[in-house]
Structure 1
Amino acid sequence: MNSLARLRTSSRAATSVAAVALALALAGCSATNELTTQGDYPASDGVQVTVGDLDLQNLLVLAAADGAPGTVLGGVTNGSDADGEVAIGLTEADATTVEVAAGTTTLLGPDQAVEVAIDAVPAAPGALVTLTVTAGTGESQTVQVPVLDGSQEQYADLVPES
C-alpha cells in the first residue's frame, strides 16, 4: 500500500471515530436531561397545585397595591367522574367555594364563571401571597402564588379598583 492510500485510510478512520464520539456526546445530553415538554410545569405567570381530584392551574392574585382589594385568576379542572368543589382563599375562614362539574374546567376571575375576591391583599405586586386551597374531600394545601398588577396588558382591565 502506498503512502497516499494509507493517508486516506487513516483520515477516514479518524473521521469515523470523530463522528461516533460526537454522536455519543450529543446522545448523552438527552439521556441526562429531562425533556421539559414531558413534565407538568406552569406555562404562564401563575402556579399549579392538585387537591384531591382537582387540578388548579395558573393561580395568581391581581391587586393594585399592598392592602388593596384583589382577585384570584386561574382555572380548576375536575378530571374525575364525580362533581367536586374546592374552597380558595387567604384562610379557610374567608375562602370562596368553587363547584366544578365532572370532566370540566371552571375559570376563575372577574370576567369568568367564578370570582374569588380578596378584601385586602397582604402583599405588594411582585411578591408572593399564601392561598389555602381545600377540596370538598377535606384535603387542604397552602400554595405561594404571585401577586401581579395591571402593568401587563393582559391583566390591565382585570385588577380590582381600590
Structure 2
Amino acid sequence: MTTAAQTTPRHRLRAVLGAAVLGTTLLGGCAVFNPQQTDYAYQAADGVNVTFGDLDVRGLAVIADTKGAPGVLIGQLVNTSDDDLDVSLASEGSQPTQVTVPRHGSLSLGEDGESVTLSSVSAAPGDVLNVQVSTAATGQNIATVPVLPALGYYKDMTPAPAASPSASASASG
C-alpha cells in the first residue's frame, strides 16, 4: 500500500499539469479563429473614403435633418498633386459648389473648415446619397455617402436657415 499511496499524488500532479498545458494550448488557439482587426482595412469614421486621381476624399458624409431639407457636407479633401486643385461638389437637386484644395495640402469641410451646403438633400437621414465630385483631371465622379442626422457631435452642423423676404422686411420696418 505504500507504493500505491505514493504514486497516487504523482498521478494527480501529472494529470493537473497535463490539463493546465492542454487548457493553455486550447485557449491560445482562439486567436486562430479571431484574426486581429488591424489586419484588415476599414473606415473608422462616419463618412466614406474614396480617391479620384490626385484627390483623396476622406470621411465624406452629409448632415441633414430631413429628406428635401438643406444639408452640409463634412469630410476632408486631400490634394496629392503639384498644382492647386479646383473641386466641384454637388448632389441631385442642388447647385454645385466649387472649392480649391492647395497643392500637397488639404481642405476640411464642415464646422471648422470650408462650408459646403447642399440646397436640397434627396435622401433621409440613415440613407445614402450620391455626391458628385468633379475635377478637371478626373471629370465627374460619384461618391455614395451616408446622410446623418444633426444629432450628437453633429448638432451644430446644419446649414443656417435662409432669411425669408417677409422676415427681413418686418425686421427692418
Q: What is the total number of aligned residue pairs between the two structures?
A: 158
Q: Which has the higher contact order (CA 8 A, sep 6+)?
A: 1
TM-score by length of 2: 0.70
- The answer to whether the aligner puts 1:11 opposite 2:4 as a matched pair is no
Moved >6 Å (runs of 4+): none
2:125 corresponding residue in structure 1: 125
Residue ranges of structure 2 left out of the alignment (5+ in a row): 162-173
1:65 counterpart SS class: coil
CA distance in 2, matches of 1:140, 1:16: 67
Residue ranges of structure 1 left out of the alignment (5+ in a row): none
CA distance in 2, matches of 1:98, 1:54: 12
CA distance in 1, matches of 2:133, 2:26: 45
TM-score by length of 1: 0.73
* Structure 1 residue 51: Cα displacement: 2.6
1:156 corresponding residue in structure 2: 155
Q: Which amino acid aligns with 1:82?
A: D
- The answer to whether the aligner puts 1:142 opposite 2:134 as a matched pair is no
CA distance in 2, matches of 1:45, 1:33: 25
Larger radius of gyration: 2
Q: Quote the sequence identity (%).
A: 32
CA distance 1:81–1:8, shift in 2 (3 Å)? farther
Aligned 1:5-84 pairs, distance under 5 A: 5-78=6-79, 80=80, 82-83=82-83
CA distance 1:52–1:134, shift in 2 (3 Å)? same
Alignment root-mean-square deviation, CA: 3.1
CA distance in 2, matches of 1:116, 1:161: 12
